[in-house]
């Protein structure tokens, strides 16, 4: 799988997937917003700060590579669908 940065001007990810995000000077991990959040607030990406998700505006993104541990220990969901931290 080739990992290439995608400009937000070119394409946005499908809703609610884990993404790597690039914003001036830094790379972070977050997720794409739900369709509802995007429609209501025009926010495409959000990042977890340990207590809540907050909106971020990266210039580029790419899908997260598959984790070596695919499932959450707690909820047994796939990690990208895990809601334990919410
Ligand atoms: Zn979980």
Structurally, how many domains does the chain consist of?
1
From the CA of 16, how far away is ligand 1's center (Å)?
A: 15
From the CA of 82, how far away is ligand 1's center (Å)?
A: 4
Q: Would 86 be classed as within a structural domain? A: no
Which of the residue ranges 5-14, 28-37, 67-76 would you say has the lowest mean pLDDT? 67-76
From the CA of 79, how far away is ligand 1's center (Å)?
A: 6
From the CA of 72, how far away is ligand 1's center (Å)?
A: 5
Plot region of 79 (φ>0 → left; ψ -120 to 50 → alpha; else → beta): alpha
Q: Would 18 be classed as within a structural domain? A: yes
Q: Return d(Cα 80, Cα 67) in angstroms, integer.
A: 9
Domain ranges, residue 40: 6-81
Query: pLDDT tens across 21-47, in order?
Result: 999 989 999 999 999 999 999 999 999
Q: Return d(Cα 82, Cα 53) in angstroms, integer.
A: 14
């Amino acid at each position: 799988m080739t990992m290439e940065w995608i400009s937000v001007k070119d394409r946005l990810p499908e809703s609610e997937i884990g993404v790597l995000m690039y914003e001036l000077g830094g790379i972070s991990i977050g997720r794409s917003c739900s369709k509802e959040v995007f429609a209501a607030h025009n926010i495409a990406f959000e990042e977890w700060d340990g207590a809540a998700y907050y909106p971020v505006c990266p210039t580029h993104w790419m899908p997260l590579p598959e984790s070596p541990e695919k499932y959450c220990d707690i909820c047994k969901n796939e990690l990208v669908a895990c809601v334990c931290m919410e």
